[in-house]
Amino acid sequence: MRTMIRNIKASVVVRVEKEWKNILRSIFCESSTFHEKNNIFTVRNPSFILNIFPKKSENGTLIHINLTAVKNFSEYYSALSSLEQKFTPRNWQILNSQIDNISATFSSDCLINLQKFHSAFPQSRLDRDKFPGCILKLQAGTAIIFSSGKINILGCKSESSLTTSWLEMRLKLESVGINIKERLREV
């Protein structure tokens, strides 16, 4: 299976010192595009974006980092490694990191009759007056199917859940006569 991951969004929680804002400024000001507004820090890197803000806690000072605009798993792990390298010398501890959402795009390379698809899967939602795609909840994510043959899968939390969602979607398409095994390509 080849996919085009459009975005991986993850959350990271870090235990920091009380003077974390000044230290954060010194960590990121030189190496990346850095913005600070309303107690939210944004760091733009060519491979990812960080939104950093304080997190309320009774156990000390914590910050929450939203890691986004990541295009593949290699970049995701590289971004986490980069954070660890920046935080470890300051005795900041990453307490938790998790993928919140993966968005990926596929193409069937053929037109899809959305009414026929919706009729075969009545649990799907189709309202052409409000939205041009058919929405179907899958076991590990949500698929949005467009008549152009493009399929977006979102809401997955791991590479394996993305693969599972695509395989489930492919079986559903094949059940309504759309055979895409040979035509699947990266979008």
Write the pLDDT tens digit of every residue in 27-76. 887 666 888 898 899 999 888 999 999 987 776 689 999 999 999 999 99
Q: Residues 84, 112: one domain?
A: no
Residue 107 has what pLDDT? 85
What is the domain range of residue 118?
108-175
171 shares a domain with 139: yes
- pLDDT higher than 90, residue 103: yes
- Give the domain CATH number at 119: 3.30.310.10
Could you tell me the two tokens for 76? 């995701």
Total structural domains in the chain? 2
147 phi/psi in degrees, rounded to 5 = -60, -20
Q: Highest-confidence range of 10-19, 36-45, 119-128, 173-182, by mean pLDDT?
A: 119-128
| Long-range CB contacts for residues 112-120, cutoff 8 Å, separation at least 24 | 112/145, 112/146, 112/147, 112/148, 112/149, 112/173, 112/178, 113/147, 113/176, 114/145, 114/146, 114/147, 116/176, 117/145, 117/172, 117/173, 117/176, 120/172, 120/175, 120/176
Residue 88 and residue 113 in one domain: no
Least confident of 82-91, 94-103, 132-141, 159-168: 82-91
What single DSSP character describes residue 122? T
Span of 60-74, 154-168, 169-183 with lowest mean pLDDT: 169-183
For residue 140, being part of any structural domain is answered with: yes
Q: How far apart are CA 155 and CA 138, in angstroms?
A: 10
More confident residue, 79 or 187: 79
pTM: predicted TM-score of the whole model, two decimal places: 0.84
Please report whether residue 3 resides in a domain: no
Q: Compute CA distances 125 → 32, 49, 92, 170, whole Å.
A: 42, 33, 46, 18
